[in-house]
Amino acid sequence: MAKRIGVLTAGGDAPGLNAAIRGLGKAAVGHHGMELIGFVGGVRGLAEDRWIPLDHSSLSGILTAGGTILGTGRDKVHKMIVDGEPRDVIPTIAEVVERNKLDCVVMLGGGGTAKNALRLHNAGIPVVHLPKTIDKDIAHTDNTFGFSTALEIATDAVDRLHSTAHSHHRVIIAEIMGHKAGWLALGAGISGGADVILLPEIPYRLDSIVETIERRKGRGTNFSVIAIAEGARDVDATLELKAAESLIKSASSSQAKTLAKENYARIEDRHRENTFHLAREVEAATGLESRVTILGYVQRGGTPCAADRLLGSVIGSAAAELIKAGQTGIMVASKGDGAARVPLADVAGNLAQVPIHHPWIRTARDVGTGLGD
């Protein structure tokens, strides 16, 4: 009997999601003779058994579309908010999978989705995870669909900010997404010729940033562009956050862990306007008018670039092949020009940050870009 697959998209939207759905669907339905349904609204749609059939007609024309035709959400399967209260819906999802006679649930998403997938896998539900995120912070995959398009958008923004910085003799600080990983800011900063790049992986010092700007002023260049990752922090803030993280890990009871997490959240909240605070400090130290541009969700939107369409298609079609062979409990990773399977247990909870000796880091230093350290 032909296999029957369910697919959903979860977490933040990203360019290339529809390409991956199409790659999975075209291969599963057209090449392997499977049946495909799509759950609407992420894991909540799965728990509520809300789905639409996905066939050649519904998959047609979505390759170039941004966002996701299935909709998305950030619910957690072990504590989904139902009637105002957190509830473990894993047993409910198991019933939905059995009722729909599904041989596999394919979950397209980032790190949170990998954790959800592992929880379902551990409960005996057949799942496959496809790595999507503009942050490129998922472990054990060379790339994630969404990253290349976001990189192009962020690079274009840094390019454009140069003319304003030059015209007004200003320091322009561009805040770039990436959560706790600096891939996007680093790639866009190098590609766009930023003068300073600040990353979560390298805590910065104000005097180092000022030194880079003053060195440029000494050469007669009275403007600078700084690309800062949203998770970048100075040395003091980094130490404060690490101490708060240690309290969470060392908590001896659930109550103590809850209090430690609340403390960590308060510290994070204090640093949410970090980029604006940095702009004020830079202006005071250099005498150059400093302005902030936060790119925000514009980096997620729009038509996926060719690289993300290609990657989504490769990963999606590879998933269909692996499911046909009975492989579940895995992430379908990007490896070179193809794909490889990685156990979900190796992926969930692991963050892929930029290694401090990565070639991109060395390149930035070699071309004279300040990294704030």
Tell whether 373 is covered by a domain.
Answer: no
129: confidence class by pLDDT, cuts 50, 70, 90? very high
Residues 117 and 76 in one domain: yes
Check whether 187 has a pLDDT greater than 80: yes
The pLDDT of residue 271: 86
Report the run of H or E that residue 36 belongs to, with start and end: strand 35-39
The pLDDT of residue 233: 96
Residue 87 tokens read as 């509830």
d(CA 19, CA 25): 10
> Which residue range is the domain that position 284 belongs to?
152-300+355-366
d(CA 257, CA 262): 9
354 in Cβ contact with 361 (< 8 Å): yes
- Burial class of 278 by CB neighbour count within 10 A (0 to 12, 13 to 18, 19+): buried
Beta bridge partners of 80: 87
The pLDDT of residue 51: 98
Residues 282 and 337 in one domain: no
Report the run of H or E that residue 94 belongs to, with start and end: helix 90-99
Residues 238 and 330 in one domain: no
Residues 184 and 323 in one domain: no
Tell whether 283 is covered by a domain.
Answer: yes
Residues 294 and 156 in one domain: yes
Residues 277 and 337 in one domain: no
Residue 36 tokens read as 């495909």
Q: What is the CATH number of the domain that holds 190?
A: 3.40.50.460
Q: Return the percentage of the chain with pLDDT > 90, whole number.
A: 90
Residues 30 and 176 in one domain: no
d(CA 84, CA 44): 14
What string of DSSP letters covers 194-233?
Answer: -SEEEBTTB-B-HHHHHHHHHHHHHTT---EEEEEETT--
Tell whether 236 is covered by a domain.
Answer: yes
The pLDDT of residue 254: 87
55 carries an active-site annotation: no
Beta bridge partners of 202: 199
Residues 31 and 115 in one domain: yes
Tell whether 372 is covered by a domain.
Answer: no
363: confidence class by pLDDT, cuts 50, 70, 90? very high
Give the CA distances from residue 261 to residues 160, 320, 366, in Å, rounded to whole numbers and listed in that order. 39, 40, 40
Beta bridge partners of 37: 6, 53
Q: What is the CATH number of the domain that holds 124?
A: 3.40.50.450
Residues 246 and 317 in one domain: no
Average pLDDT of span 150-172: 94
Check whether 1 has a pLDDT greater than 90: no
Residues 120 and 194 in one domain: no
Residues 100 and 179 in one domain: no
Tell whether 199 is covered by a domain.
Answer: yes
Check whether 18 has a pLDDT greater than 80: yes
Residues 110 and 51 in one domain: yes
Count of structural domains, the chain:
2
Tell whether 173 is covered by a domain.
Answer: yes
Task: Read off the pLDDT of residues 248-301 as tens digits, 9 standing for 90 and up.
Answer: 989 889 898 889 899 989 998 888 899 999 999 999 999 999 999 999 999 998
Task: Read off the pLDDT of residues 56-107 as tens digits, 9 standing for 90 and up.
Answer: 999 999 999 999 999 999 999 999 999 999 999 999 999 999 999 999 999 9
- Residue from 135, 137, 234, 308 carrying the catalytic annotation: 135
Give the CA distances from residue 165 to residues 160, 198, 217, in Å, rounded to whole numbers and listed in that order. 9, 18, 13
Tell whether 197 is covered by a domain.
Answer: yes
Tell whether 371 is covered by a domain.
Answer: no
